[in-house]
Every structure is written in C-alpha cells, then in structure tokens.
Amino acid sequence: MWRQIGGASLIIAVLLAIGSQAQWANCIYETSDRMAMEFVSEADTDPLMTRIRLIQSDLELEEAAVPAGLPDRAQIAAPYCRKDFTHTGSSPFYAGAILLFVFGLFCRNQARISHDQQFKQRTARRQQSDTNNLFDEPVRPQVMEPELDESLPDGIEVSEDFDLGLGSPPEDMIDEDDGDSLMDFVEHRRAIEENKDDKEDEDSGGGVERFGGFFCPAGWEDKPVLYVDIKSGSARDQASEETERLNNEARPFKSLDAALAYAAKRVVKDTPAIQIRVAPGVYQHSCTVPDRCIVVNHRLPGRATNQQRLRWLMEQGLDDPDRVTILPPTDAPVAVRFTSGQMQGIYGCHLVGREGVPQTGIHATGSVRMNIFNCVLEGFGKSGVRLENAGAELPGHGVNIQACQFLENIAGHGGGLNAKTSVVVVKDCMFQKNRAHSGGAIWAEDLKKPILVRGTRFSHNAAQGPEPGELKPSQVKFRAWLEKEGLGGAVAIMNSKAKFVATEFIDNKSNIGGGAFAVLSAQVLLEGDDEHDVRFHRNASRLGGAVFVLGWHGGAATAKIESADLQHNRAKHTGGAVCGFGLATTQLIDAKVAHNSVEHDRGLGGGIGVQNGAEILVKETDIRDNSSKGAGGGVGAINAVVKIGDDADIRNNKAAMSGGGVFAITEANEEMEELVSLHNFKLPFVFATQDCTISGNNSEDPGAGVRLGNFAPRSTFPMGIKIDGKTRLRNNRTKHPNAAGDDLWIVWNGETKGSGENRPVNKMLLK
C-alpha cells in the first residue's frame, strides 16, 4: 500500500510542477494570438487588452511592425507575460509539488522498510522449517489415470485437486538466480544462514566446531577418532597391541584404507562408532567404509554455511593445502564403497575418477542413515554415486546427499546419481556436464520412498541414446518406449515417486524425450514456493523440450508442475516445453510457459503437446509467445484430453498450420485402437475450457485461436467439446482468406461445425 501511495504522490507532484507554468504559457498563447489586432480601445481595462496596448505602443516607439508569424509574436509576448505572472504567482503550485514529492519519497521508504520486515519474517519461518523432516508422515500415493467418460459430462471440472500423495512443499527454498555463475548460485542462502548455528541445520548434515575450529558432524563430538596423514613422518599403518591408535593424533595412519580396516575391527570388537579424520593429500586407494564409521576432511571449515563450504571445496586446485583427494587405482571399480550398515558418511572430500576407466565414485548397498556431505565427485565413467537398496523408510534413515558437486560423470543410466530401491534426499547440490544414455544427471528407479530434491541446479547435462532416425512418436508402441534411450537430459524417474522443489534446469538436452526431465510410469511433483519458481530454461529434445511424461497400461504417469517458469525450451516434434504421451496426466498450475518452440514442419504444440491418450490440465497459467512450425502454437493435442481453466491465458502464440492458440483433433491410430479395445480405455477425448482467455494468436490456416475436430473425412475417435460462456476468444488472426476461422474453427468429417462467426452451443459431441 505504501508503494502505491508514494507512486501516486510523485506523479501528482510532477503534474503540479508542470501546472505552475500553465498560467504563464496560457498568457503567451493568448497575447500572441490577439497581438495583431489593429485597434484596442483604451476603455478596455481587461489585463489582456492592457498588455496588448503596451506591446503595440512599445513597437511604435521602436518603429517596428507587429510580426506576422505566431512564433515571432510569442517571443515578443514572453517578457510582458513574465512581468504579469511572476514566480510568486506560481508559489502555491511549487509548494504543493515540493510537499507531495517529499511525501512520496517518505511513502516509498516506508514500503522498503515494510518489505524488509516481511522478508525477515519469512526468513525466520524458513529457518524454523529447516529442522523438520519432510518425510515424517508415511506416503500413500495414488496412481491416477486419465478419466475419460463415455459421454460428455454436464460440467467438466478443470480445477480438480491433483494430489500425488507427496505431502506439503517444504518452505526452505533457494533464491532465484538466472545467471550461469556457479559461485552466485552456491551462495544463494548465505544471507539467511549467516547468523544460524550449524547445530540447528540437522537436515543439512549438521556440524559443530571442534578439532581446532574445524568441522565435526553433529552427534559425533564424543565419538572416538582415528587420524590419517599421508605426509606425517610418524604415520604408520601397522597397529601394535601396546599402542592405542584411537584419539591419538601423534600416531596417525599413513593410508586411508588401513585406517578403515582398523576401524572395522574395532567397531565389531569394542567401539560403538569411529570418526576417521583425514589430513590433506592425495590418497590413491579404493576404500571400504564399514558400519558406524565416517570419513571427514580434517580441514573442513567449522563455522560456515554448507554453500560456503562447497565454494571453498570447488575453488581448491589439486595442490591446495586443504584438499583431500581420493583417486582410485586404475584397476579398482569403485573409489569409496559403503558396506551394509548405518551411521556412515563421507565429508569434505574430492573423489576423482581415472579418465577412460569405468569406475564408480561411491557405491552403497544396504546402507542406512548415510551422509554424502560437501563432496565433489568428478570424472567417473560408471556414475558418481550408485545406490542399491540403500536407506530405510523410517524418518531420517535415508541417504542424505548434501551440498555436493557432480561434475562430468558418465554412465549408462544416471551419470551423476543412479538410485534403485533406495530412499534418497538431495539438497543444495550442483549437477554439471554429466552424461548417460538416460537420466544424464540422475536416474531413479523402483524407489522405496519418494526421492526429494531441493534447491539444486542441473546444467549442461545430457541423455544421448542411439539416433532414432525419423522418429514418428504416434506410431511407437507404448511398451517399446521401455527399450528407448535418450530420455531425461538431467533427470529420469521410472516406476517411482519424486518431489523436486525450487530446483532449476538450465541448458540440458536429450535426443529422444525430456530435455531436462523424463517421467516414466512415475509420479512427480515439480514446484516452487511463494518466492521461488522451479525453472526450466533453454533445454532441448525431440519430445518435450523441458519435460516428457510417459505412461502405459499398468504404469500410468502423473506430473504436477506448480509455480514453474518454462522458457526458451525447444523440441523437434512435440511439446516445446512439455510433452505428455500415452497414459500420462500432466497438470500445470500458476506457471509461465513462454518463448518455447517446435521445429518440425509437422510438429505439435509449441508450448505443450499431448498425444495418444495423454491428458493436460491447465489453470492460472500463462502460455505466451510460443511457436510451432506445425500445428498448435500454444497447445497441441492429437487423440488426447485438454482442459483449460481458472484464469489461464493463452496469448500471442503462432502456428505455421492451424491452431495458433490451441489445436486439438482426433485421428486414426492403430496403437490407440489397441489400447481402447484391449484395455477398456474410455472415450471420448475431451476439449474443455472454463473462464480463460485465448487471444492474439496467429496461424496460417483457419483456427488461429482454437482448431478442433479432425482432418480426414473418415472414422476417427469421438471428441467431446465444452466451451463455457466465460471463455474469452478474441483478436486471433489467420492468414487464410476465410476470416470466419480467426477465433474458432471446428471441422468434423469435412463439415464445418462451428466458427468464430457461428459459435456453437457450449457443449457438443462429435462422433
């Protein structure tokens, strides 16, 4: 409110300042206009006439004539008007302008103070929420398949609840940053965590200050310690019976694997848990971390935020005096292996793979309550981290990957992280330049509990399968997609559930589906919070430049995308930003889908494309400035369900064919006929709008706003249409001579059923 009042005051102040000169300007105009009068009676005492007589008299004394041109007369009149209208006469205007200007500045300052107070309150709430475990409550997901009634219902509910069973969104999000600077990104929460005790951040791995001011994980302050120092002259790997090695910094081990072997014996024999603190150096070992043991970089800073520690780690060169590097031998398949156990972890280390060797950075099987904290995993040829049956479904018993960098790792599936039948939380990490056949950065399959990814950045990752040649998506059998590679440039989730919060996907790509994200017979929630969107920018693929949602019979897929920003993504065939295919339901809420494109001349859906039984639900979403070189500039659908409502705005999209705003038709398709006949798939396909705007869209062919029905004068799947009275169809333009098809064009079996000039009743069934 303060901001609006201040803005209005400043505008009025400017107007008063202008008005202070109005009298003087009006005087010049009137005097100049009437100065050429040949005679002015002396009896006329009007101030204007008096002024004109004075001017004429002065001109006669100078033997000068009254100028013919108005500009010249105005120049003569100006000094006389200034005498009559001095600055004193404008004083009230000046005074009012100054007062309002000062008041406006005061209001703007109050608005800034109010904004700062609100920000502090939000920060306090977010800090409080840091201690909450997001998976305290059991998850009971509900598999949702598209509900297609046999006949068109009386009311099509566009705003239906779309619950993935994944719980409420967490409140602790990252700050938005559109730049490519990694250093800016890793410091996104420094301001809100500057004065926060590390003990309170249990969700981030925790930590206290010990060992000369260095980091100690929370809960490990009183645990026995083994020291490892490759450079120490007193370091020995042999452990004699008379020498106690626990808590003896003067007698460190020389190699990390020897310290771990000693720790494994002691935890079985007489020690509840052991912390192994490693001095800087390069350790060329393949290590095994036993039950109840952790490995910690002895120089990891204590009083710092997670992001500050990650920056400290990433800036270290190979010879940095604080760097701990684990470099596995060439013949070792794994750098660090976690055996089945609990209370395990690794903190503050660089793990580096040998170039050209198929190694894994970290491999864990059967581990619970495990932490991978502030580590860099770089250059591994068989995934940075592989998890199998790791983590338990109890709160706090999963695998926690925190504030880590995954850089230039490759694999068949999941170049950065490959997780199967596990429980995983990923927070404040960066995945860069990872590659795989599918799931360039993350592949998650058959998880026991939804994977949670928060505040994480995925950039320049890729999923590259064999080139498919001229791919015709509508003819690919559903089950054949299981054999496809090149899905999910950054992330692929299969037969699992996932929640991604305030996460960004920048410049990722795949050569089949989901330039950034592939949802494969899975349930996924992608969302932001009140301040920060989940963002997809500049991702690319054949199907779904940003997101590809794919489901089949017995494995339906659902995706909810809320508080999202999807811009400048591109696809070759379908869905510049989002593509739904098969038994897949996608909902967009409070999203921005803008400047996305489809490049094939028979492509579909510059912003969103759905095919072969898929369903798209859109509400409170802007779909703007997208383009398709085929059909459906904003939204395109073939044999699919489209529901648009609740203030959705489809505007300024372009299609080279028809359907600049929306294109939705049915066509003959053998794969769909099999699905309908064998799996009791319900018809008709539905197009419905409710309280939305479709305007300013363009196309070459009729139906610049909306194009519905079919093309061929032969049998196709039935289609139900419901366009409610609050749908605003206006200002759409087609280049076709038939202007009746500007806003709406419905054709069925070669017969026009509706147009912009002959808009049909709200509901119709085409069969």
The secondary structure of 510-525, three-state, reads: ECCECCCEEEECCEEE
Question: Is residue 434 within 8 Å of residue 456, measured between CB atoms?
Answer: no
Looking at 173-187, 684-698, 712-726, which range is the least confident one? 173-187
What pTM was computed for the model? 0.75
Question: Is residue 225 within 8 Å of residue 277, measured between CB atoms?
Answer: yes
Q: Would the pLDDT of 154 be above 50?
A: no
Percent above pLDDT 90 for the chain: 53
Torsional class of 554: left (φ above 0), alpha (ψ -120 to 50), beta (otherwise):
left
Query: What's residue 162's pLDDT?
Result: 43
Interatomic CA distance for residues 502 and 604, integer angstroms? 29
Question: Is residue 78 within 8 Å of residue 32, measured between CB atoms?
Answer: no
Query: What's residue 202's pLDDT?
Result: 38
Mean pLDDT along residues 8-19: 67
Burial class (CB in 10 A: 0-12, 13-18, 19+), 724: middle
Helix 70-84 with 47-61: angle, nearest 10 deg = 120
Closest CA to 369 of 291, 486, 309: 291
pLDDT per position as a tens digit, 624-641: 999 999 999 999 999 999
pLDDT per position as a tens digit, 337-354: 999 999 999 999 999 999
Query: What's residue 441's pLDDT?
Result: 98
The domain ranges of the chain are 2-93, 181-445, 538-767
Question: Is residue 496 within 8 Å of residue 446, measured between CB atoms?
Answer: yes
Query: What's residue 124's pLDDT?
Result: 45
Q: Would the pLDDT of 447 be above 70?
A: yes
Query: What's residue 186's pLDDT?
Result: 37
Of the spans 33-42, 169-178, 478-487, which averages the highest pLDDT?
478-487
Query: What's residue 166's pLDDT?
Result: 42
pLDDT per position as a tens digit, 19-61: 656 666 677 667 776 666 655 565 566 777 777 777 777 777 7
pLDDT per position as a tens digit, 550-601: 998 788 999 999 999 999 999 999 999 999 999 999 999 999 999 999 999 8
Question: Is residue 728 within 8 Å of residue 696, measured between CB atoms?
Answer: no
Longest dimension (CA), the chain: 129
Residues in the chain: 767
Give, in words, the CATH class of 181-445: mainly beta
Q: What is the mean pLDDT of the chain?
A: 81
pLDDT per position as a tens digit, 224-271: 999 999 998 888 888 665 568 899 888 899 999 999 999 999 999 888
Mean pLDDT along residues 738-761: 81
Residue 653 CA: distances (Å) to CA of 597, 638, 661 = 10, 18, 6
| Residue 332: its H or E element | none
